[in-house]
């Protein structure tokens, strides 16, 4: 695989994991694995600056807004944190800081609370709104839900309170409340929640605040943000926030060297098990706020702060059986079924074994005692075997050779880690999975129909593929389990409404391998219609920006298939959007063709997202850091001073929001 495709693949994978994690609150890999992939991508991108993309998961805060709440633009952007894993990493960081800061640097060490980020805005001493981090620029307004949390002050006390400011914190679910909540759920016959972090994050997105009120959430605060704050250091600001009535944990410590930082880390690596809530590390921050200002931000995180992640926790248990799951794309995942064991506050019964190579490498066998680890407290994984406890008659694991669902012989392509069931047409989980993907939120977003309904429809032989959805009648679905008159109507209405979904999402919904959301957008923009795309050769496709061999080949293969051609023709006949709309077309121009434009700061007329769209629909590239090849820097309010300096130094043209508009409208 060439580097460009590898990078593209990692980006797509990470986008999907971000989505699972932040939007669905259902990660499929551990944080540890996520961090490794992200690091791999970072390194590849650093070696290949020509493949830079401002949309890369290395350049953006992972979350996004949902459409279930009003979207609010943050007064001040919310960032992620850079990660470190060792003392050396921290020393490297310190020496980077010292290059920019001449005076001595003190640090505040804080615990890293593991929950969901929140930004509270206070105006005239009262809670004005609460917004999730979202994509960092804008988030979901969840004020009603946050108001149910008992330790969030609605009205502040004390003096020096700025007229308007933000305070950032983390919504967590303490262990005790989590255990109680789960006990209740089990009693009521519901599935218990997997872990406190995802439950906290999921709770914020509930539509019914009364439901949120039942969850014993807490809000822990750690950062004041605003223009006229009555403080000069981070440590002082924590105390101020306490004075005003916020719950700011007392563990934070002011230190003056990296050695002291390490001391703090070592202490809390042990002591954290006695805390009431989950922590996944320590956050180290430059104490002096002027120094913070001077250091500024990268596209994704402050340069003045660093997270240190604790090592994962490990336990040992018995592996009872190995089962194999078939995914939407036919990928086979081996799963270890374990004797239940407590790990980092949750009961673990299953662990991922990844693939055949992994099983062979670790030599994992049924009845082995295995070591299980939770990277970031999600699906745990098996990291080793306790060979001292292996049974004498134990035999090496034989990987399956046929699909557990449809008995087709499995295949494994050169260079692929996973086995696949090649029977894409009739292997049940693949059939169901493809339709589930088709209806999913980012694809056709069909309301009134969920993943389970799809399975019911397929199992009842009512549909065999996604085009069949469009011939469903209310009478067909009424006999289904738990399908009332009203829900049947909603289902049909939802399907009808999906005919208005724009072309790029239809393209994504088709489920062409390697054509994720971003690639679908790129292809839609370039080819403008399905017929043009279907005629494109592999060679032409690779000429398109960001489309590599692997994607090109997959697209060509997909459309060469007779059944797929028929599906597309049927969708077209049912009136789905198979080309970009006239309004979309009208918005596009070449006026900024070939230019590289950086935007920075806060703008008056447009959100950053809108500006970015304007840049891209007019043929230019939006990049996040300034370099020699940058053509314009669109400077907004509150732009970082270092960016400005850099632009001036490199002779990049600095223009205002209105200059930019003139440029577009010329």
Annotation: binding site for Zn(2+): 403, 406, 421, 427
Backbone angles phi, psi at 17, to 5 degrees: -65, -40
Say whether residue 21 binds ligand NAD (CB under 6 A).
yes
Distance CA 422, CA 455 (A): 20
- Residue 20 interacts with ligand NAD (CB under 6 A)? yes
Burial of residue 284, with CB atoms counted within 10 A of its CB: 0-12 exposed, 13-18 middle, 19 or more buried: buried
Does position 110 bind ligand NAD by CB under 6 A?
yes
Q: From ligand NAD, Zn ion, none, which one binds at residue 18 (CB under 5 to 8 Å depending on kind)?
A: ligand NAD
**Min dist. Cβ of residue 245 to ligand NAD (A):** 19
Q: Which is nearer to ligand NAD, 121 or 465 (CB)?
A: 121
- With CA atoms as reference, report the closest residue to 307 among 35, 502, 70: 35
Is the CB of 285 or the CB of 621 nearer to ligand NAD?
Answer: 285
Closest CB to ligand NAD among residues 241, 378: 378
Options 7, 10, 15, 17; binder of ligand NAD; rule CB under 6 A: 17
Task: For residue 605, indicate whether it is catalytic.
Answer: no
156 near 84, Cβ under 8 Å? Answer: no
- Binder to ligand NAD among 93, 107, 222, 514 (CB under 6 A)? 222
Measured CA distances, 653 to 298, 299, 304, 388, 438 (Å): 20, 20, 28, 67, 44
- Spatial distance between the Cα atoms of 277 and 345, rounded to a whole number of angstroms: 10
Partner whose binding site includes residue 541, from ligand NAD, Zn ion, none (CB under 5 to 8 Å by kind): none
What sign has the CA pseudo-torsion 168, 67, 483, 576?
A: negative
Q: Which residues pair with 348 in a beta bridge?
A: 341
Query: β-strands 632-635, 596-600: how paired?
Result: parallel
Out of 403, 495, 519, 633, point to the residue binding Zn ion (CB under 5 A): 403
From the list ligand NAD, Zn ion, none, pick the one residue 307 interacts with, judged by a Cβ distance below 5 to 8 Å according to partner type.
ligand NAD
Helix axes 3-18, 517-527, angle to 10 degrees: 120
Residue with tokens 């880690």: 417
Q: DSSP letters of 310-321?
A: PPPEEEEEEEEE
**Quick one: 135 or 405, whose CB is closer to ligand NAD?**
135
Q: Is 126 helix (H, G, I), strand (E, B) or coil?
A: strand
Show contacts with ligand NAD in window 150-209 (CB under 6 A).
170
Q: Which stretch binds ligand NAD (CB under 6 A): 18-26, 188-196, 442-450, 463-471?
A: 18-26
Which parts of 161-190 interact with Zn ion (CB under 5 A)?
Answer: none
Strand partners, 652: none
Least distance to Zn ion, CB of residue 20, Å: 23
Per-residue binding letters, 123-142, with ligand NAD (x by CB under 6 A):
----------x---------
Q: Which is nearer to ligand NAD, 172 or 431 (CB)?
A: 172
Binding-site residues for NAD(+): 31-35, 80-81, 110, 133, 170, 285, 309
Chain residues 377-396 in contact with ligand NAD, contact rule CB under 6 A = 378
Q: Which of 537, 531, 519 is nearest to 565 (CA)?
A: 531
Nearest alpha-carbon partner for 53 in 94, 92, 97, 7: 7
Q: Compute how many other C-beta atoms are within 10 angstroms of the C-beta atom of residue 200.
A: 29
Please identify which residue in 73, 400, 406, 664 interacts with Zn ion, judged by CB under 5 A: 406
Query: Least Å distance between CB 253 and ligand NAD?
Result: 12
- List residues bridging with 305 in a β-sheet: 285
Q: Does 307 bind ligand NAD (CB under 6 A)?
A: yes
To the nearest whole angstrom, how small is the minimum distance from the Cβ of residue 323 to Zn ion? 14
Catalytic residue among 6, 39, 112, 593: 112
**Contact by Cβ (8 Å): 196, 175:** yes
Task: Select from 2, 52, 29 the least CA-distant residue to 312.
Answer: 29
Name every residue whose Cβ is closer than 8 Å to that of residue 85 and which is 6 or more positions away in sequence.
308, 309
CB neighbours of 218 closer than 8 A, spacing ≥ 6? 149, 150, 151, 171, 172, 173, 174, 247, 277
Count the neighbouring beta carbons within 10 Å of the beta carbon of residue 575: 11
The partner in contact with residue 405, picked from ligand NAD, Zn ion, none with C-beta cut-offs of 5 to 8 angstroms by kind, is Zn ion
Q: Which is nearer to ligand NAD, 170 or 616 (CB)?
A: 170
Q: Which residues are annotated as a binding site?
A: 31-35, 80-81, 110, 133, 170, 285, 309, 403, 406, 421, 427
Interface with ligand NAD, residue 241, by CB under 6 A:
no
Q: Looking at beta carbons only, is 15 or 643 nearer to ligand NAD? A: 15
Give CA–CA dist 40/51, Å, rounded. 14
CB 289 within 8 A of CB 232: yes
Binding residue (CB under 5 A) for Zn ion from 221, 421, 467, 615? 421
423 interface partner picked from Zn ion, ligand NAD, none, CB below 5 to 8 A per type: Zn ion
Site for ligand NAD in 55-74 (CB under 6 A): 61-62
Q: Is 113 in the site for ligand NAD (CB under 6 A)?
A: yes
Q: Which spans of this chain sit near ligand NAD (rule: CB under 6 A)? A: 17-18, 20-21, 27, 29-31, 34-35, 61-62, 80-81, 110, 112-113, 117, 133, 170, 222, 283, 307, 376, 378
What amino acid positions are annotated as catalytic residues? 112
């Amino acid at each position: 695989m060439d580097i460009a495709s590898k990078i593209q693949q990692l980006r797509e994978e990470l986008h999907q994991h971000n989505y699972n994690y932040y939007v669905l609150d259902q990660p499929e890999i551990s944080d540890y694995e996520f961090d490794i992939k992200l690091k791999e991508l970072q390194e590849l991108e650093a070696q290949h600056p020509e493949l830079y993309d401002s949309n890369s998961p290395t350049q953006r805060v992972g979350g996004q807004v949902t459409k279930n709440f009003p979207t609010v633009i943050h007064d001040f952007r919310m960032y992620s944190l850079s990660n470190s894993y060792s003392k050396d990493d921290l020393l490297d960081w310190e020496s980077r800081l010292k290059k920019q800061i001449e005076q001595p640097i003190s640090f505040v060490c804080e615990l890293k609370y593991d929950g969901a980020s929140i930004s509270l805005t206070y105006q005239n001493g009262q809670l004005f709104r609460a917004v999730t981090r979202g994509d960092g620029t804008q988030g979901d307004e969840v004020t009603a839900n946050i108001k149910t949390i008992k330790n969030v002050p609605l009205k502040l006390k004390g003096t020096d309170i700025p007229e308007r400011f933000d305070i950032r914190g983390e919504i967590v679910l303490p262990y005790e409340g989590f255990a109680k909540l789960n006990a209740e759920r089990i009693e009521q016959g519901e599935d218990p929640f997997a872990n406190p972090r995802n439950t906290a994050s999921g709770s914020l997105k509930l539509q019914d605040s009364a439901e949120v009120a039942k969850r014993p959430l807490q809000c822990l605060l750690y950062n004041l943000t605003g223009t006229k704050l009555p403080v000069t250091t981070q440590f002082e600001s924590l105390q101020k926030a306490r004075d005003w009535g916020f719950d700011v944990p007392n563990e934070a410590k002011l230190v003056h060297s990296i050695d002291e930082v390490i001391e703090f880390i070592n202490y809390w690596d042990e002591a954290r098990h006695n805390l009431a809530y989950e922590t996944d590390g320590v956050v180290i921050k430059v104490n002096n706020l002027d120094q913070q200002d001077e250091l500024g931000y990268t596209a994704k995180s402050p340069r003045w702060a660093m997270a240190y992640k604790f090592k994962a926790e490990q336990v040992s248990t018995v592996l009872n059986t190995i089962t194999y799951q078939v995914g939407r794309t036919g990928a086979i995942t081996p799963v270890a079924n374990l004797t239940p064991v407590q790990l980092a506050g949750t009961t673990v019964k299953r662990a991922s074994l990844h693939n055949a190579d992994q099983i062979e490498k670790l030599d994992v066998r049924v009845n082995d005692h295995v070591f299980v680890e939770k990277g970031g407290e999600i699906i745990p994984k098996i990291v080793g075997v306790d060979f001292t406890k292996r049974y004498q008659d134990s035999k090496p694991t034989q990987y399956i050779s046929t699909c557990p669902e449809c008995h087709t012989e499995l295949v494994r392509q050169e260079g692929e880690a996973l086995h696949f069931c090649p029977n894409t047409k009739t292997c049940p989980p693949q059939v169901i999975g493809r339709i589930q993907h088709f209806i999913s939120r980012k694809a056709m977003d069909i309301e009134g129909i969920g993943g389970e309904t799809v399975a019911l429809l397929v199992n009842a032989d009512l549909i065999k593929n996604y085009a069949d959805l469009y011939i469903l009648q209310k009478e067909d679905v009424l006999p289904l389990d738990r399908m009332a008159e009203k829900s049947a109507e909603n289902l049909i209405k939802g399907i009808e409404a999906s005919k208005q979904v724009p072309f790029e999402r239809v393209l994504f919904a088709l489920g062409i391998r390697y054509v994720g959301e971003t690639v679908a957008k790129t292809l839609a923009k370039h080819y403008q219609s399905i017929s043009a795309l279907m005629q494109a050769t592999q060679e032409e496709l690779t000429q398109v920006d960001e489309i590599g061999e692997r994607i090109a080949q997959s697209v060509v293969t997909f459309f060469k298939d007779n059944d797929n051609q028929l599906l597309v023709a049927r969708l077209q006949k049912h009136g789905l959007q198979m080309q970009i709309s006239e309004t979309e077309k009208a918005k596009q121009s070449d006026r900024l063709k070939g230019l590289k434009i950086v935007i920075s700061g806060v703008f008056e007329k447009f959100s950053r997202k809108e500006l970015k769209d304007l840049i891209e629909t007019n043929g230019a590239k939006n990049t996040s850091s300034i370099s020699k090849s940058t053509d314009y820097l669109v400077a907004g309010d509150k732009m970082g001073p270092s960016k400005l300096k850099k632009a001036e130094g490199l002779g990049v043209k600095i223009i205002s929001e209105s200059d930019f508009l003139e440029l577009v409208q010329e």
